């Protein structure tokens, strides 16, 4: 097996396995409505090690055979981003048949980017499997054809994100040594349409350089998630998750993306794991990971 991040040469007969990470948003501002119907966003995407697992290998017959295990995916499995990534490269490069196995661990509709990460992971694995020679610039452009958040996952490095989510700039920041992130999910699926229904775009007014220099305990004075008030009004359980993280000792907590998962930043692993345990006692899946990727 080889990972999707491997730089070693590969042969066409090898299986490929990749780990598709989740992300959280350190702030999420909806700054304007675009003429193409989309919204302009501003955020920092931060990768976290809560991963889906994707395995691919060649088959002799044309097309994609996709098996999905783990958490269920709503809708038609032939129209998810993994399948669409295969179709994109099949149309563009004429690649052969593929068997794929996606094991879902990241909740859907949680604002963690799991579907976008899966689709981009598929692009990366097929690039290696078929030796297509796609570089980072081409890879991010192909990922953008799948969805707004997808280009971030090509490298999955912390990034300041603008536009629809396709414009990426490296964000040079490290959490203090020893800090952890706890993520809890209340089991609510928030659709994109539902999330944007209550949005009134406004400039962020944030100097992101100031954010990186500010104590994390002060981030609540600088950051906001424009989706959070409306989504928490519709789904009060999301506010309860965020409040639990805060009461458990989070230095900073927020809903991520369009919800419904919430994250808290903790001073150490013990505090983060205890917060996760408190969330699980409420029946909410939770995961803790070291803060720096």
Active-site annotation, residues: 23, 149
Sheet containing 262-266, strands listed edge to edge, beginning at the edge strand earlier in sequence:
252-255, 262-266, 180-184, 286-290
Q: Are strands 98-104 and 64-70 parallel, antiparallel or unpaired?
A: parallel
Nearest alpha carbon to residue 69 among 61, 57, 77: 77
HEC secondary structure over 22-86: EEEEEEEEEEEECCCCCEEEEEEEEEEEEEEEEEEEECCCCCEEEEEEECCCCCCHHHCHHHHHH
Tokens in use for 253?
């907590």
Nearest alpha carbon to residue 144 among 172, 163, 125, 169: 163
Q: Decide: helix, strand or coil at residue 111.
A: coil
Tell me if 55 sits within 8 A of 83, measured CB to CB: no
CA 147/CA 53 separation, integer angstroms: 20
CA 248/CA 104 separation, integer angstroms: 28
């Amino acid at each position: 097996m080889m990972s999707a991040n491997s730089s070693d040469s590969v042969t066409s007969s090898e299986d490929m396995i990749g780990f598709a990470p989740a992300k959280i948003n350190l702030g999420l501002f909806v700054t304007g409505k675009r003429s193409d119907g989309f919204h302009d966003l501003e955020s920092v995407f931060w990768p976290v090690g809560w991963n889906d697992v994707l395995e691919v290998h060649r088959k002799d017959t044309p097309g994609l055979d996709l098996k999905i295990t783990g958490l269920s995916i709503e809708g038609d499995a032939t129209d998810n981003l993994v399948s669409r990534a295969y179709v994109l490269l099949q149309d563009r490069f004429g690649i052969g048949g593929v068997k794929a196995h996606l094991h879902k661990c990241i909740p859907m509709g949680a604002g963690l980017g799991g579907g976008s990460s899966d689709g981009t992971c598929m692009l990366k694995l097929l690039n290696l499997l078929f030796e297509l020679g796609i570089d980072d610039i081409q890879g991010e452009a192909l990922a953008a054809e799948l969805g707004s958040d997808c280009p971030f996952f090509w490298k999955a490095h912390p990034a300041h994100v603008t536009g629809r989510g396709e414009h990426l700039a490296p964000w040079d920041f490290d959490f203090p040594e020893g800090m952890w992130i706890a993520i809890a999910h209340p089991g609510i699926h928030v659709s994109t349409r539902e999330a944007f229904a209550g949005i009134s775009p406004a400039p962020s007014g944030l100097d992101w350089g100031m954010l990186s220099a500010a104590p994390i305990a002060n981030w609540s004075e600088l950051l906001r998630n424009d989706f959070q008030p409306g989504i928490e009004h519709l789904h009060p359980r999301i506010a309860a998750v965020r409040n639990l993280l805060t009461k458990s000792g989070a230095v900073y907590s927020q809903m991520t993306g369009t919800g419904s998962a919430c994250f808290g930043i903790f001073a150490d692993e013990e505090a983060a794991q205890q917060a996760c345990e408190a969330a699980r006692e409420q029946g909410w899946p939770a995961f803790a990971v070291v803060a720096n990727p």
